[in-house]
């Protein structure tokens, strides 16, 4: 956070937090805190500014809003709670096993989903550290790099290195 109160950011559903570059683009050199930003037909008050995320970050956004605004944007959300509009990131406690979380998630569709969705939807977990290389999780909004491509590139690099070493040894032998 560059500015704003981190503990009260999203107490109000109409709050928005901007990245540094977005704030500069929208408001120039003026202080954006407290200013109103209209997105579609909703008005949001700027309550914080974040540093721009690194280019290699898996998270890509220009602004953050509270999930509480969904109730206002979609009044029928109580009946469509199963609608998967976003990826969800959770923190698992150190004493909690991944398999117990998977088992709990697997029970959700059969227990809570409407009949027409049962058997068609599944949930899975993926460690955040594997998000760049693991392409098994569907719906990943940033296409991951397949580890197969990395292995192929590594094999090519090792082959080129081997050929370079052989050429060096051959040239050194022929010069002597």
In a domain, 56, yes or no: yes
In a domain, 49, yes or no: yes
Residue 139 pLDDT exceeds 60? no
Question: Which residues have a Cβ under 8 Å from the Cβ of 121 and sit 6 or more positions away?
Answer: 82, 84, 109, 113
In a domain, 28, yes or no: yes
In a domain, 102, yes or no: no
SS3 of 103-129:
HHHHHHHHHHCCHHHCCCCCCCCCCHH
Residues spanned by the domain of 69: 6-81
Lowest mean pLDDT among 84-88, 112-116, 146-150: 84-88
Distance of CA 168 to the CA centre of its chain: 46
Tell me the pLDDT tens digit for each residue of 91-119. 888 898 889 998 888 888 888 777 877 77
What does the block give as tokens for 171? 């040239």
Domain count within the chain: 1
What does the block give as tokens for 19? 């990245």
In a domain, 115, yes or no: no
In a domain, 124, yes or no: no
Q: pLDDT grade, residue 50 (50/70/90)?
A: very high
d(CA 48, CA 164): 54
Q: Which residue has the higher pLDDT, 86 or 34?
A: 34
Q: Identify the residue whose tokens are 């290195």.
A: 161
pLDDT given at position 126: 80
Beta bridge partners of 67: none
In a domain, 15, yes or no: yes
């Amino acid at each position: 956070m560059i500015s704003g109160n981190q503990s009260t950011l999203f107490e109000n559903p109409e709050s928005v937090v901007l990245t540094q570059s977005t704030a500069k683009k929208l408001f120039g050199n003026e202080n954006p805190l407290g200013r109103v930003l209209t997105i579609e037909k909703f008005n949001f008050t700027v309550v914080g500014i974040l540093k721009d995320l690194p280019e290699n970050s898996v998270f890509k956004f220009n602004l953050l809003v509270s999930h509480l605004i969904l109730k206002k944007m979609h009044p029928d959300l109580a009946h469509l709670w199963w609608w998967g509009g976003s990826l969800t990131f959770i923190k698992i406690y150190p004493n909690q096993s991944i398999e117990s979380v998977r088992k709990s998630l697997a029970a959700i569709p059969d227990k809570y989903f409407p009949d027409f969705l049962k058997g068609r939807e599944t949930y899975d977990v993926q460690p955040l550290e594997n998000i760049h290389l693991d392409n098994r999780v569907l719906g990943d909004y940033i296409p991951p790099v397949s580890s197969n491509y990395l292995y192929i590139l590594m094999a090519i690099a090792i082959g080129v290195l081997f050929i370079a070493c052989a050429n060096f040894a051959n040239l050194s032998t022929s010069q002597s």
